[in-house]
Amino acid sequence: MEAIDALSHKLSSYLEPNQIQDILSAYRFAAQCHQEQFRQSGELYITHPVAVAHILADMHLDHESLMAAMLHDVIEDTDVSKEEIAEHFNPTVADLVDGVSKLSEIEFTSRAEQQAENFQKMTLAMAKDIRVMLVKLADRLHNMRTLQVLSPAKRRRIARETLDIYAPIAQRLGINDIKIEFEELGFAAMYPVRYELMKKARVAARGPRREIVDEIKDSIEVRLEKEGITSEVAGREKHLWSIYQKMKAKKKSFREIMDVFAFRIVVDSVDDCYRTLGVVHNLFKPVPGEFKDYIAIPKVNGYQSLHNILVGMHGIPIEVQIRTKDMDAMANFGIASHWLYKSQEEGAPRASRWVQGLLEIQQQAGNSLEFIEHVKTDLFPDEVYVFTSKGQIISLPSGATPVDFAYAVHTDVGNGCIACKINGQLASLSEPLQSGAQIKIITAKDAQPNPSWLNFVKTAKARSAIRHFLKHQQHEESVALGKRLLDRALENFGTNYKSIRKSWIKRALEETGATTFEEILQQIGLGNRLAYAVANLMAPPSKRLETMPNEFESPVMIDSGEGLIINYARCCHPIPGDPILGHLSPGKGLVVHRDSCKNLNEIRSNVEKCMPLSWSPNVKGDFPVEFKVELISERGIIATLASRISESEAAIHQISINERDAHSGIVDLVVDVKNRVHLANVMRRIRSLKQVQRVYRIKN
C-alpha cells in the first residue's frame, strides 16, 4: 500500500484525478488476479507490476501506459483474456497488454526461437503503438533490478539478452537513463568479478579527480556567466560498462580511459549552444577532427547535442556535451519525452520511422530467428551521415556501403542498383561510405540483386530485402520448372498442362494435402514431389496408370546458364551442345548432367528421377567446362596459355599445374564457354602452340 500511495502522489503532479482512478482500478484488478501468486523472492507478485508503473511514472508516461503496466502479466499468468481486459477497461489498454505478453501458448523448438518470436510479436505491437516497448523496457528493468534471487546461469542468460537486445533498443529509442542502467546491471550479472574490481578502481580514482573536475567546472561557469549565458554545468561520471567496452575495443588500460574528463552543459536555446561552444573553444584548445554537430544532424533516435573534445588545464583531455533543456530531456527519456514535453514533437516520428522499418524487415524475413538476426545488426548506433544527390541527409551504420544507401532510399532502388557514384566519381558498390559524401545510385530496369551483396551489406533493411528477392525468385523459378515437368508427365495421360480442369486440381489438392496448386508445382520444381505421381493423382480414375512408362516422349528444354532451380553438375560440366540428362535432387531442383556421366549409372533407368533434356536454341550464358593440357615446360608458357584462352573470349575459372618431370607438366583448367563450338575454338587455339602435346576434355 505504501508503494501505491507513493505512486498516486507521483502521478498527481502530471495526471488528472480521473486518470489516476483508472490506474488504481487497474491495480485492484491485477491484485485480485495475482492474489495467490508470489515472486521467487517471496514477495507478493503484485509488487512487480507496481514497480513497473513507478518506472513509467518517473518518465511521466500517460495513464493508459500505466494501466497496461499494472496488467502486463495478467494475460500470461492468469486465466483472464484480452477480451475481458478490453471489457473492464478499454481496447487500447488490452492491445498494449497483449503486445507485452509473451507467446506462452506456442510450443517453441528452442529458447532462441522463443526469444525471437516474443521480440517479433512486440515489434508488430510497437508498430501500432510505441508504448508497448516502453512498458516492456520498464518490465525488463525491474526484473534486472531483482535478479539476485535467480541462479547464476539464469542471471547470465537474462543479462546477455538485455545487453544484446534491450539496451540497444533503449538507446535507439533515445532512453539513455534506462539504457545505462541496463548496461550496469547486465555487466554486474554477466561478469560479477570484473564488475566489482572496476567498481573499486573507479572509487579509488574518484578522490584525486574531484579537485580537477571542480576546477574545470568553475572555470567554465565563470566564463559563461561573464558572457551572459544561463547554464547548468555538471561533471559526468563514466559508466562501468562503457569503460569496459572502450578498454576492450581500444586496447587501453582502465587509467587511460578514466583520464578523460566529461562535462555536460545545459543552456536555454539552440543559439546559446553555439555561443557556448565558442566560449569553451576560447577557454580550452579543441582537438582537431573530434567535433560532432548532432543538433544540425540529429541521430536516428532523435538525440541532439554538440560534442567536442578539448585539451584542458594541465593537458587533461575534456569531453564536452552542449545541449538545451528539451534536448537533455530527449537524451534521458527519448521517445518518452514526447509525453513529458508536448513541444518535443521530433522524438515520436523518428522512433515511429525506425519501428516502421522493423515492420518492413519483419514482413520480408523468413522466420523469427532470421528477423532478430537482422534487427540486432541494425541496433548498434555508430553512424555515418551521407547525402542524396538532392541534398537529403541519410544516416547509416558505420561501415555501410552504397548498396545499403540504395535500399535506405527505397527497396526498388536497391533491387535495381547496378553502380554508384561517390562525390561524382564511379566507385565500387562494396566501398564503405564516409560521413559527408554525396551518393548517386545508377539503376537499370532489368537489374536484380546480386547474392554476393550479402557478404558486405551492413543494414538489416538491405540484407532482408536481398534475401526476400532471392527467395521470391527461387519460388518463381521452381514453379515454372514444376509446370514444365508436370506438362511432360501429363502427356502420358493424353493431355497437357493447358488442358488441366479445375476438378483435377481439386483432386490433387485433396490427395496431397497442399493448400494451393502453386505449392504443388513448387514442390515438383524443387524435386520434393514426383511430377508423374502428381499427374497420375490428377487424372480421372479410369485413366490412371498402374506402372511407370518406359520413357517420356518430350524432353525438358534448358534455356539459361544461370538459375536457382536448374543446377549444372560439377562432376561432368555439361555445356550447350552436349547430350544431357536431368536428375531431380530434393531441395536442389533439376541437376543437369552430361549423358555419359558415370554418376547417373544407378538411376539412369528410373525415368521419373532421370529424364532426357535438350538445349533450347536460344540458350545463353557462360558454362564452366574442365579440360587438361599436356605440355613441355618452358618459361612463360602459362602466361602464353592464358593469353590464348583470353583471345578466344573465354574466362579462366580455375587453373592448377602438375609437373610430370623436369621437362613436362599437365595443366588442369576450368574455363567458362558459351557452347561446344566455343570450346572447340578455345582448344584449337591452344593446340596451335608448339609446346602443347595434347588437349582433352574431362568426362567425369
Residues involved in catalysis: 76-77
Helices (H) and strands (E) in the chain, counts: 28, 20
- Could you tell me the three cell numbers for 5? 500511495
Could you give the strand order of the β-sheet that contains 589-594, starting from the edge strand earlier in sequence?
A: 556-560, 610-620, 580-585, 589-594, 566-568
- Could you tell me the three cell numbers for 97? 497488454
Strands 664-673 and 610-620: unpaired
End-to-end CA distance of the chain: 82
Give the side-chain half-sphere CA count within 13 A for 58: 13
DSSP 304-370: --EEEEEE-GGG-EEEEEEEEHHHHHHHHHGGGHHHH-TT--SHHHHHHHHHHHHHHHHHH-SSHHH
651 contacts 657 by C-beta, under 8 angstroms? no
Give 594: exposed, middle or buried? Use CB within 10 Å, 0-12, 13-18, 19+.
Answer: buried
**Which residues, in sequence order, are CB contacts of 84 under 8 Å at separation 6+?**
none
668 contacts 623 by C-beta, under 8 angstroms? no
Give 404: exposed, middle or buried? Use CB within 10 Å, 0-12, 13-18, 19+.
Answer: buried
Q: Give residue for cell 517420356.
A: 552
